[in-house]
Amino acid sequence: MEPIQQRYGHGAQAQSAALFDEGLRQHMLRIYNYMGAGLVITGLVAFVVGSTPALYVPIFTSPLKWVVMLAPLAFVFFFSFRIQTMSASAAQMTFWAFCAVMGLSLASVFLVFTGTSIARTFFIAATMFGTTSLYGYVTKRDLSQFGSFLMMGLIGVVIASVVNIFLGSTALQFAISVIGIAVFVGLTAWDTQNIKEQYAENIDQESQQKMAVFGALSLYLNFVNIFQLLLNLTGERE
């Protein structure tokens, strides 16, 4: 018969594992809630600006459009360098501000593409994102081996996108969209697994909150890029 101390030891371990799993689920749920709220803010800002001539005309018919286009990138760099020194509340407010600025940048899609194609593409992107994020969460396979490959692909997509701003090549844009979708789908699974593995039950609440905000930012960026690239690839223009 198993010694009583050993049985109690197994019970304590099982209880500890159950508490850890519950904490992890709550952490991931918090991340997805932040991400979802951020997408709502982005969508509302984009829709309001994109449907209001008094707002989009002065933005997209002047050099101000470059500020609006580059501002989200500035926010990402700021977030990446300052997240360790920011408070959890400051990190959360910065994330909401970033989502609003991204909405300004994405307002142009309502000027270029039909509402039907935007809605259709959003649901396709949501399905792709949800499937791959779920895979990253449940898979036992170590996805870290793909990290360097995905980052190289991301750098390549960014460089090609900048070059194509000046070239305006339809063929290059098609290639960027196809490769970019594959890269960001892979990053979704990779980031989800990283977020899961970085969770620690014994870290303080403040650190967990900042981890949740930064995790939401990572997944948010993957989703928005999948959506934009899909829209460029399959969207119906006005």
pTM of the model: 0.87
Block means of pLDDT (10 residues each) for the chain, 238 residues, are 52 65 87 95 93 85 80 80 82 92 90 89 94 93 85 87 80 87 94 88 78 92 94 79
Burial class (CB in 10 A: 0-12, 13-18, 19+), 107: buried
CB count within 10 Å of CB 165 equals 8
* 206 in Cβ contact with 85 (< 8 Å): no
Tally the residues of the chain.
Answer: 238
Q: What is the pLDDT of residue 15?
A: 59
At residue 144's C-alpha, the angle toward residues 143 and 146, to 5°, is: 75
Residue type, 16: S
Q: What is the pLDDT of residue 88?
A: 85
Strands (E), the chain: none
Q: What is the pLDDT of residue 8?
A: 47
pLDDT tens for residues 34-54?
999 999 999 999 999 988 888
Q: What is the pLDDT of residue 6?
A: 53
Distance CA 73, CA 200 (A): 29
Q: What is the pLDDT of residue 121?
A: 93
* 230 in Cβ contact with 124 (< 8 Å): yes
pLDDT tens for residues 93-127?
999 999 999 999 899 898 889 888 999 999 999 99
Residue type, 88: A
Distances (CA, A) of 5 to 13, 19, 66, 238: 12, 21, 67, 72
Q: What is the pLDDT of residue 205?
A: 79
Distances (CA, A) of 147 to 10, 65, 85, 154, 183: 36, 33, 26, 10, 10
Can you tell me which residue has the tokens 């142009």?
A: 108
CB count within 10 Å of CB 80 equals 11
* 181 in Cβ contact with 126 (< 8 Å): no
* 49 in Cβ contact with 56 (< 8 Å): yes
Can you tell me which residue has the tokens 């709220």?
A: 37
Contacts of 48 (CB under 8 A, 6+ apart): 55
Q: What is the pLDDT of residue 136?
A: 93
* 36 in Cβ contact with 217 (< 8 Å): no
Domain-by-domain residue ranges, the chain? 4-234
